Structure 1
Amino acid sequence: MKEPLLKGPAAEEALRNYFLSIGFYTARGCKFKFNNFDVTDIDLFLYGKSSSLNRERINVDIKNKRTPQALERIFWAKGLQQTLQFEGCIVATNDTRPDVREFGLQNKVSVLDGRFLSRLVKSNRSHLDRINEEELLDELDRASLGKLGGDWRGRYEKAKTRLVTSLNFDGANAWLNDIHYYFAEIAKGNHSPTAWRITYVSIAQLAICLDFILREHVTAEHDQRYRLLDEGFRYGAAGRSLATKVGKMASSLVSTVVSDPELGRTLEHEILRQAEELKADILAEYFSKAAVQSSLFDLAKFFDVNAYAREVPPASTLPSQALSIIGVLADFFEIDRKQILK
C-alpha cells in the first residue's frame, strides 16, 4: 500500500489533476536555473493551447500551509512570470481572505483561494487514476539504481527544467538525445514499464517544445516549415550562421598554434560536415506536415497520460498516430523499429 502524500505535495497533485482535466499539459516541480544557480522550483508548470495561433505558459505557486503568506506569494509569482516571459501566473493558497483575491486581480494574478481548494479536494477532478510525481521519481531511481545506471531521475529533472527555459531547438535537440538514450535501452531488451514511462514523458516534452516553436509558423508553406525544422535540428536555436562562425573561430585558433593552415580548414569543414550528415531531413519532413503540426499538443497530452498510467501500455499497442512518431524517431536514430515495437 502506497504512503499518503504530505500536505504540500498532495495539494500540488490535486491541482495538477484539476488542470489536466480542463485540457492543460502539466509538469510538477520544474527547477528554474540561471547559469549554475538554482533560483527556485516552479510548483506547477502549465502549457495550454487556446487556438492554432495562441499558447499559454503559466507558473503556478502552491502554498497549503498554516501561514501561507499569500500576498507575498503573489509578488513572487508575478515576478517569476515576468522573468520567464510567461503568459500568466496563478497563486493557489489556503488563505480565504477576500483581500488576497482583490490584490491578485489588481496585479493580474489569478488566485485560487482556500474555498476553491477545499471544494477541489472533494471533486473527482482532483482524483485521476494515475501515479503521482513522487511515485514516478521513485520508479526512475530504482530502474537505474540511482546514479549508478544512467541516473534516469537526474535526466528527467533536467528535462523538466528545459520546459521552463528552453522551448527552442536547443531544447528539442536535448530531448532528442534523451529519447535516443531511452530507445537504446529498450532496443537492448529493457522493455520494463519504467523504461516506457520515461520514454513517453520525453516524447511528450519534445512534442510540447515543437508545438511552441511551430506556433508562429502555422500559416507558413510546408517548404518553409521544412527548412526551419531542418536547420534547427542540425544547428540548434542559433542556426547555421553561428555554426559557421564557430567553425571559423576554431580554425583561426588552431592556426595560431599550428603552422599547417590545412589543419584549421579541416577542422572548420568537419564541424559543418557533421551537422550536414545528421539525418535531420527525416524529422523535418515528418514534423513539417500540417496534420502532424496541428496534432502536437494533443499528442503530448496523450503520451503524458500513458506515461503516468497505472498500467503502462507498450508501444506496440498504441494508436497509429502515436506509433508513427515513435517510428520516425527510431528511423532518425537508426534503430530498428522492430527492436522498439516488440
Structure 2
Amino acid sequence: MSQQLLKGSAAEETVRNYFLSIGYFVVRGCKFKYNQFDITDIDLFIYGKSSAFGRERLNVDIKNKKTPQAIERIFWAKGLQQVLGLDGCMVATTDLRPDVREFGLEHKVKVLDGRFLTRLNKSERSHLARINEEDLVSEIEKHSLGKLGGDWRGRYESSKSRILDSLNFDGANAWLNDIDYYMSEINNHSDSAPTWRMIYISVSHLLICIDFILREHVAAEHDQRKQLLDNGFRYGSAGKSFTLKVGKMASALVGSVVTQPGLSQTLERELADQASDVKADVLAEFFSKSQVFASLFDSAKLFEGYGYQADVPLPSSLPAHAQSYLGVVADFFDRDRKKILM
C-alpha cells in the first residue's frame, strides 16, 4: 500500500496474517485502558474456536528488534494475560536463544522465535491480499475529517479496546450502537467504502461478542437462548432484576424530594416502558437460531475480511447469510433494510 510500514508494524502485520491464515480471529493494536487511562497496547488479540464449547483468547506480544529483551517480554505478556483474564499468551521475538523458548514453556508462554519469524516472512501465509492497519486508520481519518466528523478513529479504537474486556451484553449493545451510527452515515459521503469498512468490522466484533456469550449455552433449548438474548439486549449485562431495582430506587428517591403526586410512579413506569420499547426480540429470535449461533465465529471472520479488502464489497454483493446480519441490525434500529442492502 501507499504507506511505508515501520519494522515493528510490518512484523505485527506478518504475524497477524499468519494467525488469520490458520483460522483465528485477530485484532491488531488494542489499547488496554483503565478508568479512561491508556495503560498499554496489545499487539495482537487472537480469538479461536476449538469446538462447539471451547473458545480461546490470547494476547500476543511482538518485538522485531536487534535487542528484543525476550525474557522481559515473556514476563510482560504473562502479566497482561493474567490481568485481562485471557486463556494464554504468546511472544514473537527475533531472539534465537533456546533458553528463551525453554523459559517460555516453563511458564506456559508460547514463544515464536527468530527462526520461526524468518520462515514466516517468506511464507505465503504472511502475505494476504488485504490492506494493513495503518492504511485503514489513515483512510477513515481522512474520510471523517478526524474529530470534526465524528471521530471515527476514536470509535474504532474504542471498539478494539472493548474486545479485550467487554465481551458481554454491555459490549454487544455498544457495538450495535456503533453499527447504527455508521449506517446513518452511508449517504453522507460521496465514497461509501470507508463507511462499509467500519460497518463490517463492527459487525465482526459484535459477532465475536455474541459467540463468546453463547459458548456456555450451546446445549440450552432454543427458548432458553432466546430469553437470555432478549434480556441481555434489553437490559444489558446487569440483567432485568437489577435494572428494575435501580428504577424503583430512582423513583423512590424522586418521591422523597419532590412533592408532586404520582411523579415517582410515572418515572418508574417510564423506565419500564423504555426497556419494553427496545426491539430486543428481533435480535433474540435471530441469534438464538441454531444455524446462526453455530456459525457466528466463521461469520465474524468473514466480515473482518470484508473490512480489510482492498476493494470493499457492497452489501448487495455479499452472500445471503451475510446480508441477513446487516438486515437484522437494520430491523432492530427501524432502518429500511432495502436501502441498507442495495
TM-score range with shorter-chain normalisation?
Answer: over 0.9
Closer, same or farther in 2 for the Cα pair 1:213/1:113, shift >3 Å?
same
- Structure-2 separation of matches of 1:214 and 1:76: 31
Displacement of 1:263 in angstroms is 1.0
Matched residue, 1:129:
129
2:147 corresponds in structure 1 to: 147
Is contact 2:70-2:100 (8 Å) kept? yes
Q: Which whole-Å deviations, capped at 9, do the CAs of 1:204-243 have from their partners, x for residues lacking one?
A: 0000000000000011000000000000000000101111
| Aligned-pair CA distance for 1:261 | 4.7
Q: How far apart are the structure 1 equivalents of 2:16 and 2:165?
A: 20
Aligned to 1:66: 66
Same amino acid, percent of matched pairs: 65
Residue 260 of structure 1, CA deviation: 2.4
Provide Cα deviations, 1:75-121, integer angstroms capped at 9, x if missing partner.
11111111111111000111111110000000000000111111111
Rounded to whole Å, the distance in 1 between the matches of 2:191 and 2:210 is 27
8 Å contact kept, 1:43–1:62: yes
- RMSD of aligned alpha carbons: 1.1
> Which shifted more, 253-262 or 13-22?
253-262
> 1:283-312 CA distances to partner (integer Å, 9 max, x unpaired)?
000000000000000000000111100111
1:158 and 1:299 mapped to 2: Cα distance?
22
- Cα 1:77–1:261 change in 2 (3 A) is farther
Deviates more, 1:1-10 or 1:185-194: 185-194
> C-alpha distance in 1, partners of 2:319/2:65?
43
Cα distance, 1:68 vs structure 2: 0.9
Task: List aligned pairs for 1:294-305, cutoff 5 A.
Answer: 294-305=294-305
User: Does structure 2 retain, via aligned residues, the 8 Å contact 1:169–1:237?
Assistant: yes
**Alpha-carbon deviation of 1:190?**
5.9
Note the alpha carbon deviations across 1:110-165, whole angstroms, 9 max, x for none: 00011111111111111101000000000110111001111111100000011000
Give the letter aligned to residue 219 of structure 2. Answer: T
Structure 1 stretch displaced more, 168-177 or 58-67 = 58-67
Residue equivalent to 2:214: 214
1:243/1:272 contact within 8 Å kept: no
Partner of 2:337: 337
Give the number of equivalent residue pairs. Answer: 342
Deviation of 1:187 (Å): 5.2
**In structure 1, distance between residues paired with 2:205 and 2:68:** 31
Aligned residue in 2 for 1:165: 165
The residue number in structure 1 matching 2:117 is 117
Equivalent residue, structure 2, for 1:78: 78
Q: TM-score, normalised by structure 1?
A: 0.98
Separation of aligned partners in 1, 2:261 and 2:122: 73
Alignment of 1:1-342 (within 5 A): 2-186=2-186, 192-342=192-342
Q: Distance in 2 between matches of 1:147 and 1:37?
A: 19
Q: Residue type of the partner of 2:270?
A: E
CA drift of 1:170 comes to 0.2
Equivalent-residue separation in structure 1 for 2:110 and 2:137 (angstroms)? 30
TM (norm. structure 2) is 0.98
**1:234 is aligned with what amino acid?**
R
* 1:286 and 1:292 in contact (8 A); partners too: yes
| Residue 55 of structure 1, CA deviation | 0.3
Q: Secondary structure at the match of 1:330?
A: helix
- What is the rounded CA distance, in whole Å, between the counterparts of 2:150 and 2:220 in structure 1? 40
| Matched position secondary structure for 2:286 | helix
SS of 1:265 mapped into structure 2: helix
Q: Secondary structure at the match of 1:148?
A: helix
Partner secondary structure for residue 92 of structure 1:
strand
The DSSP-based 3-state class of the residue aligned with 2:51 is coil
CA contact 1:30–1:161 (8 Å) conserved in 2? yes
| Aligned-pair CA distance for 1:191 | 5.8
Report if the CA contact (8 A) 1:186-1:339 is conserved. no
2:3–2:134 contact (8 Å) kept in structure 1: no
| Secondary structure of the structure 2 residue equivalent to 1:96 | coil
* Equivalent AA in structure 2 for residue 147 of structure 1: K
Structure 2 unaligned regions, length at least 5? none
The answer (yes or no) to whether the contact 1:172–1:206 under 8 Å persists in 2 is yes
